[in-house]
Amino acid sequence: MAFSFIIDGAIALSLDTKIKKGYEYIITHYNPGDDIWLFGFSRGAYTVRRIAGMIRNCGILKIDQDITSDQIGKHVDLAYEIYRDRDAIYHPEGSGSDNFKKAFSYPDSEKPIIKFLGLWDTVGAYGIPAYIIGEGFKYLEFYDQTIPNIVNFACQALAIHERTSFFEPCRIFPNSSGTVTIKETWFPGIHIEIGGGTVLKFGSGNERISKATILWMIENIEQIGGLLMRGNIETYRTRFSPDF
C-alpha cells in the first residue's frame, strides 16, 4: 500500500509539473490575439487537455516585463491550485475563478483562444489510466469529458483494437454551447501504435497506423488553416501515406 502510494505520488508530481510548465510556457509567450495550438498523445493528450481546462478556469495570466521567473512560478502555482480545487466557487463559471481572471488575466477573447486541440488516444475513463489514480490523487481526474468553449476545433484519433483496461479511451464531447467542432476517428490498432510508440521505441508494430493518424491530423489542421507548415498537403500525403 505504501509503495503504491509512492508510485502514484511520483506520477502525480510529474503530471502536475508538466501541466504547470506547459501553462507557464503559454503565458510567457502569449500576446493578445494569438492562436494557441495544443497536441498530445496518451499522457501528453491528458496534459494538454488539463492545460486547456486551466486556461478555461484561470485565463491567460498577464506577465509584466519586470517580473522574475520565481514570481511567475508562484503565480502559476496559485492558478493551478485554483484550477484543481473542486469547490463550486472555482468551477469554470464559479465566482472564485471569475474573480481570479478579472484580477490577474487578460480579458476573455471574443473568439476561442485555443484554435486547435490535437489528441492521440487520451486514456482512462477520467483522462488518465485508472491504476495511476490513488485515493489521494482524485484531483487529477477531469471534471468531465466535454471540450470547453475556449477551444475552436478538437480532434482525437482513437485505437479500436486496444483491450487493456487501463488504456480505456477518454472520449471528447462538445459542450452545451455547441461552439466547439469535435472530430473523433477510430483507427485499427492498439494504443501505442496510434502514437507511433512501437515503431519508435521497439522497432516493431504497424507503422502504417501511426502514418495514417498523423496524416489524418494534418488534413484536419489544413482544413481550418492558420498553422504554418513546411510543405503543402500533397507533400504530407506522400510522406505519410499508409501504403508505404
Angle at 127 between CA 224 and CA 229, to 5 degrees: 25
pLDDT digits (tens, 9 = 90+) for 107-140: 988 889 999 999 999 976 455 555 454 444 455 5
Give 221: exposed, middle or buried? Use CB within 10 Å, 0-12, 13-18, 19+.
buried
Q: Percentages helix, strand, coil for the chain, rounded to the nearest 5?
A: 50, 15, 35
Q: Domain residue spans in the chain?
A: 8-240
Whether the full predicted model's pTM is greater than 0.85, yes or no, is no
pLDDT digits (tens, 9 = 90+) for 175-206: 888 889 999 999 999 988 888 765 555 555 57
- What is residue 174's three-state secondary structure? strand
pLDDT digits (tens, 9 = 90+) for 205-220: 578 888 889 989 999 9
pLDDT digits (tens, 9 = 90+) for 6-63: 334 345 557 889 999 999 999 999 999 999 999 999 888 989 999 999 999 999 999 9
User: How many other β-carbons are positioned within 10 Å of the β-carbon of residue 209?
Assistant: 24
